[in-house]
Amino acid sequence: MRISFETMQATFSGILLKEGFTEAKARQCAAIFAENSRDGVYTHGLNRFPGFIEMIRLKLVNGDAEPTLESHNGLIEQWNGNLAPGMLNAQFCMNRAINLAKENGIGCVALRNTNHWMRGGTYGWQAVNEGCIGICFTNTIANMPPWGGTDARLGNNPLVIAVPRKEGDVVLDMAMSQYSVGKLMQYQSNNEELPLPGGYDAEGNLSTSAADIINSKRLLPVGFWKGSGLSLMLDLLVTILSQGNPTQNISNNEQEYGISQVFISIRPANNEISNQLADQIIAYTKSSGLANPDQPINYPGENTLMTRNRNLKEGIPVNENIWNKVLAM
């Protein structure tokens, strides 16, 4: 079953209005959820929408709140998200970073006390749409053991790096676990085995069962000790720069809220030259021989654009159960 982008957005927007959102905020949140599904990130689009409504009803996400500027550290701005919807806070802060980058070459905004931003890539696309480089990262509830450990003490802290390019923006959106939580949930709901071990089961054995890994909260860090180290550094950076909650504080609660994020934007010195260099790098990368002749080498973001174009033309594929659940809200 496929649903048009417009229908999906209007449906989300109507429900958010019933939850007391202003028209502007309902439209903005609905657009982000619909765009995430449009771009193929169903786990953080339609599939996550009921969970978002639940967080509002639990009063862990506050639709009325607005981010407030807490302080400056030189050119770095520190904002308090006041538990407003994470997507709106993130969009606001990346916009601030972009404006600072347009003024000063580089902008850096730290955000505390915010909520899940859904698809991190959203804010990378936001930067490249303004012709700017975007870098952002977040902490999360603990869901990975540190390397050498057995208990979840690190979040899988997604990192986004986005570089503008006329022929197709390059947007990396990666969690520090070999599979993101969204991807694990997708494998679980499709009842499919992971192609590679993605974490440990309750007994501490490497596992390809998404369900076992989600239950054990022992996701495998990308590259073993390396992803463990990088995840720790990202928690240090978002916490210190925002003076917000580290993964520990977030993990003391049953639900994930009150998290910390950083948004950096950089204005390329010369758009023409930057574009040529990006084209050269992509062309060189693609010039490698293929391990499997049927599988081309894709740059980060390339599949997103293909999925986006297809879903805009043919409609966005939906899980009927979830779609019907949303229609009944």
Minimum distance from CB of 134 to a second copy (Å)?
11
Helices 121-129 + 23-38 axis angle, to 10 = 100
Q: Does 203 bind a second copy (CB under 8 A)?
A: no
Residue 322 phi/psi, 5-degree rounding, is: -70, -40
Minimum distance from CB of 307 to a second copy (Å)?
16
Name the segment binding a second copy (CB under 8 A); options: 2-10, 36-44, 55-63, 166-174: 166-174
Taking CB under 8 A as the criterion, which residues in 282-301 touch a second copy? 284-292, 295-300
Q: Which of 25, 44, 48, 217 is catalytic?
A: 44
Minimum distance from CB of 148 to a second copy (Å)?
5
Q: Does 153 bind a second copy (CB under 8 A)?
A: yes
Question: In sequence order, which residues have a C-beta less than 8 Å from that of residue 172 and are 6 or more positions away?
Answer: 124, 159, 160, 161, 162, 300, 301
Chain centroid to CA 274: how far?
26
Residue that is written with structure tokens 């862990």 in the block: 60
Q: Which of 68, 73, 190, 215 touches a second copy (CB under 8 A)? A: 73
| β 206-207/170-174 pair status | unpaired
Minimum distance from CB of 121 to a second copy (Å)?
12
Interface map 34-63 toward a second copy (x if CB under 8 A): ------------------------------
Is residue 25 left, alpha or beta, with left meaning phi > 0 and alpha meaning psi from -120 to 50? Answer: alpha
Q: Does 321 bind a second copy (CB under 8 A)?
A: no
Name the segment binding a second copy (CB under 8 A); options: 39-47, 85-93, 234-242, 312-320: 234-242
User: Contact at 8 Å (CB) between 127 and 224?
Assistant: no
Taking CB under 8 A as the criterion, which residues in 298-317 touch a second copy? 298-300
Taking CB under 8 A as the criterion, which residues in 105-134 touch a second copy? 105-106, 108, 133
Interface map 245-284 toward a second copy (x if CB under 8 A): -xxx-----------------xxxxx--xx--xx-xx--x
Q: Does 6 bind a second copy (CB under 8 A)?
A: no
User: Contact at 8 Å (CB) between 17 and 60?
Assistant: no
d(CA 120, CA 126): 10
Residue 298 DSSP code: -
Q: How many other C-beta atoms are found inside a 10 Å radius of the C-beta of residue 302?
A: 17
116 among known catalytic residues: no
Q: Does 236 bind a second copy (CB under 8 A)?
A: yes
Q: Which of 15, 90, 98, 154 touches a second copy (CB under 8 A)? A: 154
Q: How many other C-beta atoms are found inside a 10 Å radius of the C-beta of residue 38?
A: 24
d(CA 250, CA 239): 11
Task: Name the residues annotated as catalytic.
Answer: 44
